[in-house]
């Protein structure tokens, strides 16, 4: 029988990225998202060729700063600027602690919808779009597309839903089993599922690709896939 995880907690009735979540986020996300560290490693490696001297990289939904921390360490170029955006005060505070002392990093406590972005060479959006209301996602992707340079790229990772209800049930079962194997308790898994309902709203693969196309992105390649977690590297129409 699994023992309660070191980060044992009960989420609120409606999921919020508050101080309680920020405190345990790094441990909890690794227990919840399959291959989380490998996913970030791949995203970093795919980002490097686009982040040239003098360019800017943006991380939307930066959380505790994992993406910027990894890319900053990998690029190690003082002429590259990094922007992290997150609407959660607690998450931005955690990111500031983690990224303290790193050069050329700007962290914005804001919704990406409310930020006027400069020209960027690379944008990462990892498990973020699903928390934005579906009716606003096309506008967000269009906003990112208008800011990404013609030779730039978007790294997008999303939890998706199957069009086949039987397959979706299997996805959900396998994902819950993964979380239990990772050390979460059944009580934690059930509470998280209920709290995040209607807060995280996944779309199908086809719906995500349609939004990207409508926003002006011309090409997408899958670089990661596990059940209903998919990662794309996306290029703009030139």
The answer to whether the Cα torsion of 138, 140, 141, 142 is positive or negative is positive
Whether pLDDT at 5 is above 80:
no
- Binned at pLDDT 50, 70 and 90, residue 22 comes out as confident
CA distance 63 to 214: 27
> Residue 9: is its pLDDT beyond 80?
no
Confidence of residue 24 (pLDDT cuts 50, 70, 90): confident
What is the separation, in whole angstroms, between the first and last Cα of the chain?
A: 54
Across 69-95, b (16+ Cβ under 10 Å) vs e yields: bbbbeebeeeebbbbbbbbbebbbbbb
Domains in the chain with CATH codes: 19-163+200-236 (3.40.50.150)
CA atoms within 13 A on the CB side of 168: 11
Report d(CA 50, CA 94) in Å as an integer. Answer: 27
Q: Which of 158, 174, 122, 114 is nearest to 139 (CA)?
A: 114
**Cα atoms in the 13 Å half-sphere on the side-chain side of 130:** 22
| CA separation for the pair 50, 213 (Å, rounded) | 21
Q: Is the pLDDT of residue 28 over 60?
A: yes
Taking all residues of the chain, what is their mean pLDDT, rounded to a whole number?
Answer: 92
pLDDT in tens, 121-146: 999 999 999 999 999 999 999 999 99
**Residue 237 pLDDT more than 80?**
no
Helices (H), 115-162: 134-147
What's the average model confidence in pLDDT over 156-173? Answer: 97
What's the pLDDT tens digit per position in 77-110? Answer: 999 999 999 999 999 999 999 999 898 999 999 9
> Each residue of 180-201: pLDDT tens digit?
999 999 999 998 898 898 899 9
* pLDDT at residue 20 is higher than 90: no
- Residue 25 bridge partners (DSSP): none
Residue 215 CA to residue 236 CA, distance in Å, equals 9
Closest-CA residue to 208 (of 112, 125, 151)? 125
How does pLDDT run across 207-232, given as a tens digit for each residue? 999 999 999 998 899 999 999 999 99
Range list of H helices, 182-204: 186-196
Whether residue 91 contacts residue 29, with contact meaning beta carbons closer than 8 Å, is answered with: no
DSSP-derived 3-state class of residue 68: helix
pLDDT at 4 exceeding the cut of 60: no
Look at residue 8 and tell me whether its pLDDT is greater than 60: no
């Amino acid at each position: 029988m699994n023992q309660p995880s070191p980060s044992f907690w009960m989420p609120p009735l409606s999921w919020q990225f508050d101080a309680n979540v920020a405190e345990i986020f790094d441990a909890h996300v690794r227990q919840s998202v399959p291959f989380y560290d490998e996913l970030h490693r791949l995203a970093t490696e795919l980002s490097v060729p686009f982040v040239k001297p003098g360019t800017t990289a943006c991380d939307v939904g930066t959380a505790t700063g994992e993406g910027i921390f990894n890319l900053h360490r990998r690029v190690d170029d003082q002429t590259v600027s990094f922007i992290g955006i997150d609407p959660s005060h607690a998450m931005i505070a955690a990111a500031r602690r983690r990224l303290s002392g790193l050069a050329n990093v700007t962290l914005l406590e804001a919704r990406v919808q409310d930020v006027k972005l400069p020209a960027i060479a690379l944008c990462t959006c990892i498990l973020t779009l699903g928390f934005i209301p579906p009716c606003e996602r096309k506008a967000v992707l269009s906003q990112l597309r208008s800011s990404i340079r013609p030779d730039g790229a978007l790294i997008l990772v999303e939890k998706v839903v199957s069009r086949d209800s039987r397959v979706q049930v299997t996805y959900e079962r396998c994902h819950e089993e993964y979380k239990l194997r990772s050390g979460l308790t059944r009580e934690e898994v059930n509470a998280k599922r209920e709290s995040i309902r209607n807060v995280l709203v996944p779309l199908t693969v086809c719906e995500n690709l349609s939004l990207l196309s409508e926003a002006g992105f011309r090409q997408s390649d899958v670089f990661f896939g596990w059940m209903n977690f998919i990662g794309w590297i996306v290029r703009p129409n030139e």
